[in-house]
Structure 1
Amino acid sequence: MTPDELDLIRRRQKARARVMALLLGGLVLLIFAISIAKIQLGMHL
């Protein structure tokens, strides 16, 4: 592989990693918000 091809692959991997990090962070925030809402409503699970 040429250096340009390797650079392209690395950039795609970085972009994919960022998307996954954002999705995971969003999921964590969603679960946290749901937990807080349940606690405030007195629905301890």
Structure 2
Amino acid sequence: MTIKAEHEIHQRRKGRNIGVGLMLAGFVVLVLALTFVKITSGDFELPRAEAIE
């Protein structure tokens, strides 16, 4: 069993996958940051339960 050199297409796919992964991670960080800022801004309130009469 010999070790095969990595083909060019695998290198391109690997680079594309890393780029997509970094973009996804950046999007997740952005959403978490916006959520954190919204919650800690002070005007965020949980919905209150309506009084049953």
Specify the TM-score bucket, using the shorter chain as the normaliser.
0.7 to 0.9
Counterpart in the other structure of 2:19: 19
Aligned residues: 42
CA drift of 1:44 comes to: 5.3
Higher relative contact order, structure no. (Cα contacts within 8 Å, ≥ 6 residues apart): 1
Counterpart in the other structure of 1:7: 7
Where does the alignment leave 5 or more consecutive residues of structure 1 unmatched? none
- Structure 1's consecutive aligned runs of 4 or more residues displaced over 6 angstroms after TM superposition are none
C-alpha RMSD of the superposition: 2.3
- % same residue: 31
| Greater C-alpha radius of gyration | 2
The structure with the largest helix share of the pair is: 1
CA drift of 1:43 comes to: 2.9
With normalisation by structure 2, the TM-score equals 0.67
Where does the alignment leave 5 or more consecutive residues of structure 2 unmatched? 47-53
